[in-house]
Amino acid sequence: MDNNDIYQVSEKLRQESRSMYNRLRSIDADAQFVTHVSEMLTEYPVIANERCGVWYVDPQLAHSDTVYFKSTDGHTNNWKFSLRRANTHIFPILAQYNGCILVDSTRKGKRMPDSFSRTIPIWCAVWNTAVKILRNTEWDCKLYTPPRVVSESENSHMSKLVPVFADMLLKSGIDVRELTKGMKKPVRPIWITRDHRLTIPPDFTDAEFCPIVCVSASSTQDCSDGFMYVQGAADDHELWAGKLTPQLFWKYKEQLLGDKNTMEIVDQVVSINRDVQMSGGVSFIKNTNLAVGGQMATSVPGFDAVISCGERMDSSEKHLCLSIHDSKKGQTEMATAIPLALQFVEPFMRNNSRILVCCAQGTNLSVSIALAILTKYTDDNGQFQVNERNVITKQMIQNRLLWITTSHAKANPQRAMLKQVNRHFMDYAIN
């Protein structure tokens, strides 16, 4: 066998190992570990970290809310505290349960994702620092990171940024005092990976902190049992899952895992559920009558006007359909759609009518259109006001985006779509 033959065999094995069947079997195996941890810590709700983590949590087990802590915010020498991903909606949950379990995964070669080892520790330290400043009291603000994952040197560099991020948070317009009024203890990350063999439930009852238990679902070891195990199998699902969603996976799990001809079953499942309405929940933005949600429909009870973004549908006097692809192709379509949306919605905004902007998931396209509407037609208090381009600033757009992300927990607009909103009103991009 020559080198070319060896390469072809190796490539075939690599592709087979990443097949849909092996990925779904791997997700199922990892999800069993998540369920095991949740059974050990029954007092805490299980919350998936978008987007990968949603695949690993049984819907019957999952809290209705999700969080979005992005790994890139924790990349070495590029540490961030993102106001767009402030995850403010988690505080009522922490106040109610005095802790929670977060679920995510990572690809081969790492024990846990950067979202767990760095992004969440930074988030905890920043919020703790802000609380200490506001309350002027003793409050643990230390940056806690997993010692075998983050070096002391890196922890030191990250720690120096915490006061800067806390100051940014306190000046952002987010009502930190109101959001954290239910916090009795500092928040602190705790990590559980597949390397842990949990036989005795951890007890945080008398702990001096409110635990955020970060469960990294995938194993660094080969967990194959009749299939080829893929660590972090759910990662980048848009590249391998097609139209299969986590919801459909869990609904048809037995069928999908029972036959290696997975693609055929996926096609059948997607076809059967083609007309099923996706829902990302509906949230009113700040104190406006503008709502964002994940229900695709031409009319919705309780709303005077609907703007739907995504697949083409017929428009009417009270319904505007914007055909925008949730992909790179959609960038140009978004640029065309923004002025259409602004023209359609103006009379409804003037009359303080109830308006729903929706897309299939309620996370990206609808959020971007809603941002353009708020930028154009609201003052700093959310009341109707027509803003001409010469008065619209970068800070104004960022503030309106903050209204959306703090009001609608699932908001996760793509940077490319936000740039189109920004370009509609000015010539430079959001940083």
Query: Would you state the pLDDT for residue 296?
Result: 57
Query: Would you state the pLDDT for residue 282?
Result: 84
Contact between residue 230 and residue 21 where contact means Cβ atoms under 8 Å apart: no
Give yes or no for residue 5 having a pLDDT over 50.
no
Query: Would you state the pLDDT for residue 289?
Result: 93
Half-sphere exposure of 189 (CA within 13 A, CB side): 29
Q: Most confidently modeled of 16-20, 238-242, 320-324? A: 320-324
Give yes or no for residue 236 having a pLDDT over 90.
no
Kindly provide the residue ranges of all beta strands, DSSP E only, lying in 311-421, ordered along the sequence: 319-323, 355-359
Q: Which residues contact 332 (CB under 8 A, 6 or more apart)?
A: none
Higher pLDDT: 268 or 126? It is 126
Give yes or no for residue 279 having a pLDDT over 80.
no
Higher pLDDT: 201 or 82? It is 82
In this structure, the dihedral spanned by the alpha carbons of residues 33, 39, 41 and 43, taken in order and rounded to 10 degrees, is 140
**Mean pLDDT, to the nearest integer, of 92-117?**
93
Higher pLDDT: 270 or 123? It is 123
Residues constituting the chain: 431
How do residues 282-319 score in pLDDT, each as one tens digit? 889 988 999 998 865 555 678 899 999 987 777 788 99
**Mean pLDDT, to the nearest integer, of 342-360?**
94
Contact between residue 389 and residue 418 where contact means Cβ atoms under 8 Å apart: no
Query: Would you state the pLDDT for residue 151?
Result: 94
How do residues 10-64 score in pLDDT, each as one tens digit? 444 445 456 899 999 999 999 999 999 999 999 999 999 988 999 999 999 999 8
Q: Most confidently modeled of 251-255, 264-268, 277-281, 307-311? A: 251-255
**Mean pLDDT, to the nearest integer, of 187-206?**
87
pTM: 0.78
Query: Would you state the pLDDT for residue 271?
Result: 75
Q: What whole-number percentage of the chain has pLDDT above 90?
A: 65
Query: Would you state the pLDDT for residue 4?
Result: 52
Contact between residue 73 and residue 79 where contact means Cβ atoms under 8 Å apart: yes
Query: Would you state the pLDDT for residue 302?
Result: 81
**Mean pLDDT, to the nearest integer, of 263-286?**
73
How do residues 62-95 score in pLDDT, each as one tens digit? 998 999 999 999 998 889 999 989 999 999 999 9
Give yes or no for residue 423 having a pLDDT over 70.
yes
Q: How far apart are CA 225 and CA 24, in angstroms?
A: 13
**Mean pLDDT, to the nearest integer, of 239-262?**
87
- Listed residue (168, 170, 164, 160) closest to 135, CA to CA: 170
Query: Would you state the pLDDT for residue 17?
Result: 52
Contact between residue 131 and residue 76 where contact means Cβ atoms under 8 Å apart: no
**Mean pLDDT, to the nearest integer, of 109-123?**
94
**Mean pLDDT, to the nearest integer, of 317-340?**
89
Residue type, position 189, single letter? P
